[in-house]
Chains A and B, each alone.
Chain A
Amino acid sequence: MNIQRIMQVVDASFAARQSIEKSLREIDRRALNAMVLVKRHGNALAGYGVVAQAFRERAASLKESASHLQETIAPLIQAHMRILQHQRFAASFSTMIQAMTHHEQDCANLKNTQVQHQKIITQEETDARKILLRLIATVDALQEGIEEQEYVVTNGRIEAALAEGTGAPLMRVSRDMGEAVRTVSNAIRTYRHQLESLEHESSTNI
C-alpha cells in the first residue's frame, strides 16, 4: 500500500462522513418537519406522530453510530502510516545491506534489524486489519440502522395512506424521508466498497 492509497481512504472517509452527517441532518430535519405537521393537525395525525418520533430517534441513533465511525478511522490511518514508516525503514535497511554486499561486506546486526522491521510491519498490518474489520463492522451497524430506518419510512407511508383524508401532505413528507434515507444508504454503501477493497489489498499484502 502506498501513500496515495492511504490518502484515497482518508478522502473517502472524510467524504462519507460529510455525506452521512449531512444526510442525517436532513433526516432529522425531515422528521422534525413531520412532527411539526403532526402537531399542527392536533390528534388527527397522532399515528403519524409516532412514526415521525421513531424516525427522529433512529436518526439520532444513526448519528451516534456515525460518530463511532470517525473514532475508528483515525486509528486505521495511524496504523497504515506506521506500516508505511516501517516499510520505509525496512527498504532503507535493504538498500544498505545491498550496498554492503556490493562491497563484499556483511553485517549481521543490520540483517537482524531488517527482519525485526519486517516482523513489526506484519504485526502492524494485523492490527490495521483488525481496525479495518472493526470499521467495517461499524459500517455494517450503520447499514442495519438504515434498514430499520427504511422500515420506519414504510410504516410512515402506510400511516400516510391511512390519514389521507386529513388533507395533510404526509405522502410527500414520507417520500422526502425515504429520499433522505436513500442518500445515507448510498453514501454508506459506497464507503463500504472502498473499505472492502482496502481489506482485499490488506489481506493479500499488496
Chain B
Amino acid sequence: MDMEILQDYLPEARELLEKAQEDTLLLESDPGNDEILASVFRAFHTLKGGAGFLEADHLVRWTHHLEDLLDKLRSHTLTVSANMIDAILKGLDVIDNMLQQLAHGEIPAPGPVDLGQVIQQLAAGQTIESGMSTPPYCPPTDATLLASQRTTVDGHSGTYVERTDVSSHSAPGSNDEISEAEFEATLDSLYGNQAPGLADAPERFCLTGDEISPEEFERVLDQLYGGQAPGYDVLERATQTQPASVASELDASAFHTDLPVQNLDAQQSLPTMLASIANPAASAHAQSMPEAADTTLRVDALRLDAVMNQVGELVLLRNRLASAVSSLGEENEDMTRIAREVDLTVNDIQSTVMRLRMQPCKRLFQQLPRVVRDASRQLGKEVKLDIVGEEVEIDKTVVDALSGPMTHLIRNSLDHGIEPPEVRQAGGKARSATIRVAAVHLGDKVRIEVSDDGRGIDRQFVTQKAVDKGVITTDQAARLSEQEALELIFRPGFSTKDQATDLSGRGVGMDVVKETVRKLRGHLDIQTRLGLGTTIAMEFPLTMAVLPVLYLRLRREIYALPISSIESLLDIQENRIHRMGGRSVYRVDGTQITPMVDLGALLNDRPLRLGSEPIEGVLTERGLFMVSEVLGNEDSVVKPIDFLAEQTWYQGATISGKGNVVLILDPVALIGHSLEYSGMDRTTLDQRGAA
C-alpha cells in the first residue's frame, strides 16, 4: 500500500463520507433531488477511485455496489425508498470501518455479506420492478473506443471518449454501442491487467443506444489520469448538471485528435500524449482559475500542533521579556518600545495560529441528524432536530473530542427526556418533540447547547436513584442544593434506568461528557424545568493554545487561576461572611450568596486570618476564593502535570514572566473538594456526637 497516497486519501475520504451521510439524510426528505443524488453518487465514485489506487479491493467492491445503486437512483431508473436510505447509511458505516482499518495500515476486510447482498438486491430488484427485464443488448466486439482531446470555443479543453466501429467507423447510424468485453479489452490495452477498481465490472456497461454514460466516461478518465484529469471538477460538475449544454458548447472542429485506445501499448503513453497535445489549452485554463487552485491547502494536523506548541513557547518568552524590561525602569524607553512591539507581533502570530486550528461546528454537528434519525426510530419517538450556529468556529481539539459526548447527549435526551408521541399529545404538547443543538460565541468562549422540550429532570427522583445506587449517602442527599442534585447525573455509575439499553442506562456516558468538558477546560451547566425540557450547556475557550490566567499570592507561594472562570475580584468584608449548613458562605450582594473557600486552609493547612494579614477575594462562577493578594494577569501556556494523581485540583502548570513554575488551580475541583470536605467534616462530627 502506498502510504503517501493513503495519507492523502484518508482525510478526503472521511470528508466525502461525512458529506455522503449528510446528503443521504437529506434524500430521505427530498428523494427526487437530482443534485443530492449526484452528490452522493460522486462521493462513492471518488471513494472507489482512491481505493483502487490503494488496492483496497473490498472497499472498491463495496463502494462499487453503492455507486451502482446510486447510479440507478440518479438516472431515475429506481426511486428512493426508506429501505434504500437505511441500506446506504449502513453501507456508509461499513465504509467508515474500512477507512479505520486503512488508517491502521491494514487492508480492509470484506464488508458484511448480507448487507452487500441487500444493496445489490435493491439495485437489481428495483430494475426488474421498473420494467427493465429485457436482457441487455451487447454489440459486436469489433467496436472500439476513441479518446480525443478537444477545445471548446471558450478555450477550455477536455478529453472526450466516443464509441466507434473499426470496421465501419465512418458509417453513420451503425450500432456503435460498447460492450463489456470491448471496454475491458480497451483498458487491458492501456494497463494490461493492472487496472484498479475493475475487479467486478458488471454487465451494466452493456447499454442500448450509442450514448456513453457519464459513469463510463469517468471510468475511462480515471484510468487515464487517476483523478488528476485537467478540468476534472468543471467537467464533472457540468456533466452532472447540464450534460446537454456542455455538449452543445463543444467545438469539435477546434481541436480533434482521434486516439484509438486499443492501439496504445504502454500505461503512460496515453496520458503523456494527451498531456502534450492538451498542454497549451490546459495551461490557458489553469491560468484562468489560479485562485481556486491556490487558496486552500491541506495540512497535516500534527504540523499545526507543532506550530501551536512553538507559538506557546514564544508566548512564554514574550512574557519573560516583558517582565525583564519592566524591571529595567522607565528610563530605558527603547527597550520598552521594543518589548511592546514584540508583544503586539506575538499576539498577531498567536491569533493567526489560533485561526488555523479553528473549525466550524458543522463538523461536530453533521453526525447528529443520523443519530436522531436512528435513535428516534428505535425508540418510536417523533423528533425534529434544529441545528443553529454551524458556522461558529472552535478549536479543532474541541471538535475532535466532543463528537462522542454530543452523540451521547442527544441519545440521552431522546431516551430520557423526550416522551413518546402519545404521552406528549396527552400532555398537550405537539406529538413531535424538538431537540435543539446550538453553538454561539460568547466573548472568548463558545457555548454549545443541547436542549429538548421533553419531560425535564425530576431532582427528587434523581437524588433517590443516586441514593439507591449508592452514588451518595442519605446524609449527603439531604444537604444537596437543587443544582447539586441535578449534577448527580454526571456522577460515574449514575443512571436513572435499572436496566441498560443500547442507547443508555450504563451510567458511563454523562460521566464521560463531564470529564471531556473538564479536559477541554470547559464548563458544564444544566438547566431543567419539569415538564418543559432540559438544556445542557457546555462552554469552551475559543482556543486551547493559550490560557489567560490571573496570578495570585497565597502567603509566599504564587498560583494561577484561569481568567475564564473568574467573575470579579473583591475586597473581603468580615460582616459578609456567614456559616450555612456547616459551610462558609459569602454574601456578595443583596442577591448572591456563594460558597467560600479559604485557599490557605486548603493548600497550606493554615487558614488565612482576616484582619491580621492581607486577604483578597476572587469570585468565580462556583465560589469565592480567599487569597493573600491578586498579582496580575498574563497569557500562559499550560504544561500538563500528568505525573500527579488522576484527580487533583491543578489544571496544569505554567512558567510565569519571571521564569517561575506556577501551578494553575482548577476552581471547580477546588470548590468540589471543599464542599465534600466540609460535608465529611460535619458527618464525622455528627457521628462523634452520636457516639
Q: Do B444 and A42 touch across chains, with their CB atoms under 8 A apart?
A: yes
Which of A25, A41, A43, A44 touches B351 (beta carbons < 8 Å)? A43
Select from chain A the residue with minimum beta-carbon distance to B616. A29
The answer to whether the Cβ of A36 comes within 8 Å of any Cβ in the partner chain is: yes
Q: Do A41 and B443 touch across chains, with their CB atoms under 8 A apart?
A: yes
Q: Do A32 and B351 touch across chains, with their CB atoms under 8 A apart?
A: no
The answer to whether the Cβ of B571 comes within 8 Å of any Cβ in the partner chain is: yes
Q: Do A40 and B568 touch across chains, with their CB atoms under 8 A apart?
A: no
Select from chain A the residue with minimum beta-carbon distance to B629. A25
Q: Do B630 and A42 touch across chains, with their CB atoms under 8 A apart?
A: no
Q: Kindly supply a per-residue 1/0 record for chain B positions 568-600, scoring 1 wherever the CB is within 8 Å of any chain A CB and 0 otherwise.
A: 111100000000000000000000000000000
Q: For B568, what are the chain A residues with a Cβ–Cβ distance below 8 Å?
A: 33, 36
The answer to whether the Cβ of B179 comes within 8 Å of any Cβ in the partner chain is: no
Q: Do B443 and A36 touch across chains, with their CB atoms under 8 A apart?
A: no
The answer to whether the Cβ of A26 comes within 8 Å of any Cβ in the partner chain is: yes
The answer to whether the Cβ of B548 comes within 8 Å of any Cβ in the partner chain is: yes
Which of B444, B445, B548, B630 touches A32 (beta carbons < 8 Å)? B630
Q: For B570, what are the chain A residues with a Cβ–Cβ distance below 8 Å?
A: 29
The answer to whether the Cβ of A69 comes within 8 Å of any Cβ in the partner chain is: no
Q: For A42, what are the chain B residues with a Cβ–Cβ distance below 8 Å?
A: 443-444, 542
Given A36-B633, A39-B548, A41-B443; A29-B563 close (CB under 8 Å): no
- Which of A29, A32, A35, A43 neighbours the largest number of chain B CB atoms within 10 Å of its CB? A32
Given A40-B563, A40-B564, A43-B351; A29-B443 close (CB under 8 Å): no
Complex Cα gap A25–B571 (Å): 9
The answer to whether the Cβ of B550 comes within 8 Å of any Cβ in the partner chain is: yes
CB distance from A180 to the nearest CB of B (A): 11
Q: For B563, what are the chain A residues with a Cβ–Cβ distance below 8 Å?
A: 36, 39-40
Q: For B633, what are the chain A residues with a Cβ–Cβ distance below 8 Å?
A: 32, 35-36, 39
Q: For B548, what are the chain A residues with a Cβ–Cβ distance below 8 Å?
A: 39
Complex Cα gap A95–B569 (Å): 63
Q: For B445, what are the chain A residues with a Cβ–Cβ distance below 8 Å?
A: 40
Complex Cα gap A39–B569 (Å): 14
Which of B351, B444, B542, B569 touches A29 (beta carbons < 8 Å)? B569
Complex Cα gap A143–B563 (Å): 33
CB distance from B611 to the nearest CB of A (A): 14
Q: Do A40 and B443 touch across chains, with their CB atoms under 8 A apart?
A: yes
CB distance from B341 to the nearest CB of A (A): 15
Q: Do A36 and B632 touch across chains, with their CB atoms under 8 A apart?
A: no
Interface size in chain B (residues, C-beta < 8 A)? 18
Given A29-B569, A29-B616, A33-B569; A39-B444 close (CB under 8 Å): yes
- Which of A26, A33, A36 neighbours the largest number of chain B CB atoms within 10 Å of its CB? A36
Which of A32, A43, A44 touches B632 (beta carbons < 8 Å)? A32
Residues of chain A in range 11-31 having any CB-CB distance to chain B below 8 Å = 25-26, 29
Task: Give the interface size class of chain A.
Answer: 10 to 19
Complex Cα gap A168–B568 (Å): 13
Residues of chain A in range 31-59 having any CB-CB distance to chain B below 8 Å = 32-33, 35-36, 39-44, 56
The answer to whether the Cβ of B566 comes within 8 Å of any Cβ in the partner chain is: yes
Q: For A44, what are the chain B residues with a Cβ–Cβ distance below 8 Å?
A: 443
Select from chain B the residue with minimum beta-carbon distance to A57. B326
Cβ-Cβ contact count across A and B, 8 Å cutoff: 41
Select from chain A the residue with minimum beta-carbon distance to B543. A42
CB distance from B98 to the nearest CB of A (A): 41
Given A39-B548, A44-B443; A29-B571 close (CB under 8 Å): yes
Given A39-B563, A40-B563, A42-B542; A32-B443 close (CB under 8 Å): no
Q: Do B443 and A56 touch across chains, with their CB atoms under 8 A apart?
A: no
CB distance from A171 to the nearest CB of B (A): 15
Tell me if B's interface is mostly helix, strand, loop or mixed: strand
Given A36-B566, A40-B563, A42-B542; A26-B571 close (CB under 8 Å): yes
CB distance from B141 to the nearest CB of A (A): 69
Q: For A41, what are the chain B residues with a Cβ–Cβ distance below 8 Å?
A: 443-444
CB distance from A98 to the nearest CB of B (A): 54
Complex Cα gap A32–B550 (Å): 9
Complex Cα gap A168–B564 (Å): 14
Complex Cα gap A56–B445 (Å): 25
Q: For A32, what are the chain B residues with a Cβ–Cβ distance below 8 Å?
A: 550, 569, 630, 632-633
Q: For B569, what are the chain A residues with a Cβ–Cβ distance below 8 Å?
A: 29, 32-33, 36
Complex Cα gap A42–B445 (Å): 8
Select from chain A the residue with minimum beta-carbon distance to B568. A33
Complex Cα gap A32–B630 (Å): 9
Q: For B550, what are the chain A residues with a Cβ–Cβ distance below 8 Å?
A: 32, 36
CB distance from B563 to the nearest CB of A (A): 5
Complex Cα gap A166–B630 (Å): 27
Q: For B564, what are the chain A residues with a Cβ–Cβ distance below 8 Å?
A: 40
Which of B444, B571, B616 touches A40 (beta carbons < 8 Å)? B444
- Which of B443, B564, B571 neighbours the largest number of chain A CB atoms within 10 Å of its CB? B443
Q: For A56, what are the chain B residues with a Cβ–Cβ distance below 8 Å?
A: 632
Q: For A26, what are the chain B residues with a Cβ–Cβ distance below 8 Å?
A: 571
- Which of A26, A29, A44, A56 neighbours the largest number of chain B CB atoms within 10 Å of its CB? A29
Q: For A35, what are the chain B residues with a Cβ–Cβ distance below 8 Å?
A: 633
CB distance from B632 to the nearest CB of A (A): 7
Q: For B351, what are the chain A residues with a Cβ–Cβ distance below 8 Å?
A: 43
CB distance from A204 to the nearest CB of B (A): 40
Q: Do B630 and A29 touch across chains, with their CB atoms under 8 A apart?
A: yes
Q: For A29, what are the chain B residues with a Cβ–Cβ distance below 8 Å?
A: 569-571, 616, 630
Complex Cα gap A41–B444 (Å): 5
CB distance from A160 to the nearest CB of B (A): 16
CB distance from B349 to the nearest CB of A (A): 14
CB distance from B680 to the nearest CB of A (A): 33
Complex Cα gap A26–B571 (Å): 8
Select from chain A the residue with minimum beta-carbon distance to B631. A32
CB distance from B447 to the nearest CB of A (A): 13
Complex Cα gap A26–B563 (Å): 19
Q: For B542, what are the chain A residues with a Cβ–Cβ distance below 8 Å?
A: 42
Q: Kindly supply a per-residue 1/0 record for chain B positions 337-355, scoring 1 wherever the CB is within 8 Å of any chain A CB and 0 otherwise.
A: 0000000000000010000
CB distance from A131 to the nearest CB of B (A): 26
Select from chain B the residue with minimum beta-carbon distance to A40. B443
CB distance from B604 to the nearest CB of A (A): 22
Q: For B443, what are the chain A residues with a Cβ–Cβ distance below 8 Å?
A: 40-42, 44, 166, 168
Select from chain B the residue with minimum beta-carbon distance to A46. B347
Select from chain A the residue with minimum beta-carbon distance to B567. A36
CB distance from B135 to the nearest CB of A (A): 68
Q: For A25, what are the chain B residues with a Cβ–Cβ distance below 8 Å?
A: 571
Select from chain B the residue with minimum beta-carbon distance to A41. B443
Complex Cα gap A44–B441 (Å): 11
Q: For A43, what are the chain B residues with a Cβ–Cβ distance below 8 Å?
A: 351
Select from chain A the residue with minimum beta-carbon distance to B617. A29
Select from chain B the residue with minimum beta-carbon distance to A28. B630
Complex Cα gap A91–B570 (Å): 55
Q: For A36, what are the chain B residues with a Cβ–Cβ distance below 8 Å?
A: 550, 563, 566, 568-569, 633
CB distance from A37 to the nearest CB of B (A): 8
Complex Cα gap A94–B444 (Å): 78
Q: Kindly supply a per-residue 1/0 record for chain B positions 436-471, scoring 1 wherever the CB is within 8 Å of any chain A CB and 0 otherwise.
A: 000000011100000000000000000000000000
CB distance from A44 to the nearest CB of B (A): 7
Complex Cα gap A26–B568 (Å): 13
Q: Write 18 A-B pairs (CB below 8 A) sorted by A numbering.
A: A25-B571, A26-B571, A29-B630, A32-B550, A32-B569, A32-B633, A33-B569, A36-B550, A36-B566, A36-B569, A36-B633, A39-B444, A39-B548, A39-B563, A40-B444, A40-B566, A41-B444, A166-B443
Closest 10 CB pairs of A and B: A41-B443, A42-B444, A39-B548, A39-B563, A42-B443, A29-B569, A33-B568, A36-B566, A40-B443, A33-B569
B interface residues, Cβ below 8 angstroms from A: 351, 443-445, 542, 548, 550, 563-564, 566, 568-571, 616, 630, 632-633
A interface residues, Cβ below 8 angstroms from B: 25-26, 29, 32-33, 35-36, 39-44, 56, 166, 168
Kindly list 16 other residue pairs between chains A and B, CB separation below 8 angstroms, not including A29-B630, A36-B566, A36-B569.
A29-B570, A29-B571, A32-B550, A32-B632, A36-B563, A39-B548, A39-B563, A40-B443, A40-B444, A40-B563, A40-B564, A41-B443, A41-B444, A42-B444, A44-B443, A168-B443
